[in-house]
Structure 1
């Protein structure tokens, strides 16, 4: 029981440190932002702004820490186009630096008709495959990845993302009761782990009520209450 408590505490520490890192990097911002679903969100997470070597190295460390803490077993990494490509590559490099060298592959959006051809690049897809991405909104990229992995005869094992927004997904413009993460877990039967969640963000903001960041907690809580899954 004590070991489980220590693991939970370690996970929370990684999550809160990641929230701080994302804010410091300008990746996590507060204000008023329109999401793909047409919602007005009080915060915005743009992993594309992890845009230099130092940020990418630190980001890969967070992914690796979360993967180790989760205990997920996998044989190789797959990065879905486009943001998943650099994420998967840097996570593979970080794991190799820690002594765990695993193959890495990614896909193209369009098939290449010359050279090696096809839509898959890198190591052959085989064994238990870990999908690495930034966030999961509709789950489209993950579903496409799962199809490609299964078509190659490999097993889609799990998904690791940077942030779980914990909000309802939309289908044909209509809110549904589950999030994209819940869909992948419950309907597709895959493990999904996130470095941090919206709950972690709220905890971070609740601990900073005396700072300029604390004022955003009420808006984020209202958004969670309205769209939370």
Structure 2
């Protein structure tokens, strides 16, 4: 079976263009859905995001560009991108590649194993050594923050220093451990690191407005009024 080549899409340059391309690709691929979804928290959300469905070249291209732009322009200097297993692994590899091709910035990447390997080279991480390095952790959608907190522990045990966290989507809603602050706010206070996001919930609302999807816009605003972090 042969794969027929297609013309590459226009190359988005600004962060706004990259966000637009990423949201569109997420919607087209089914990674971003609007409707009624019961979350683990029990809340009924008007949207759901499953980064695992960003599985084509057309979807991964804007993902890589948007991650690289956010990392490049909104974080302190670092040496290694760390992707928590499993979803964070392709994020780290894609962002590492895009940073080099788009900005000429060469950094390393690493990720953890779900179970430490006791043969061969052994260890609980794969990729660049973390000892003595400045590390940025990549995540998809931070709910309880469990995956990122585990990553912070792994990196510390390996002798690395986390200088930032970048999540793919910030739902911008209260939750966290006490139900008063967002998980992002709690993590920033606990770890003392900057947490940034490629996309915010408000970006999704803006995209819906641009598409004239007024019903979805109303549902998103109602949800944000009820559960959103107050600016």
What TM-score do the two structures reach when normalised by structure 1?
0.86
Consecutive unaligned residues of structure 1, counting only runs of 5 or more, are 1-9
Which residue matches 1:116? 121
CA distance in 1, matches of 2:83, 2:59: 18
Consecutive unaligned residues of structure 2, counting only runs of 5 or more, are 1-13
Which residue matches 2:179? 176
Which residue matches 1:5? none
Shift of 1:18: 3.0
CA distance in 1, matches of 2:207, 2:57: 26
- Determine whether 1:159 maps to 2:165: yes
- 1:136-173 CA deviation, whole Å, 9 max, x = no partner? 111111111111111222110101111100112253xx
What TM-score do the two structures reach when normalised by structure 2?
0.85
Shift of 1:202: 1.8
- Equivalent pair of 1:88/1:133 in contact (CA under 8 Å): no
- Determine whether 1:103 maps to 2:85: no
- Determine whether 1:74 maps to 2:81: no
User: Superposition pairs for residues 51-62 of structure 1, below 5 Å?
Assistant: 51-62=55-66
- Equivalent pair of 2:22/2:62 in contact (CA under 8 Å): no
C-alpha RMSD over aligned residues: 1.8
Shift of 1:120: 0.8
Higher relative CO (Cα under 8 Å, sequence separation at least 6) belongs to: 1
User: Superposition pairs for residues 17-36 of structure 1, below 5 Å?
Assistant: 17-36=21-40
Shift of 1:76: 0.9
2:191 is paired with a residue whose SS is coil
Larger CA deviation: 160-169 vs 67-76: 67-76
User: Superposition pairs for residues 203-222 of structure 1, below 5 Å?
Assistant: 203-209=206-212, 213-222=213-222
- 1:208-228 CA deviation, whole Å, 9 max, x = no partner? 33xxx3320111111112221
Total equivalences in the alignment: 214
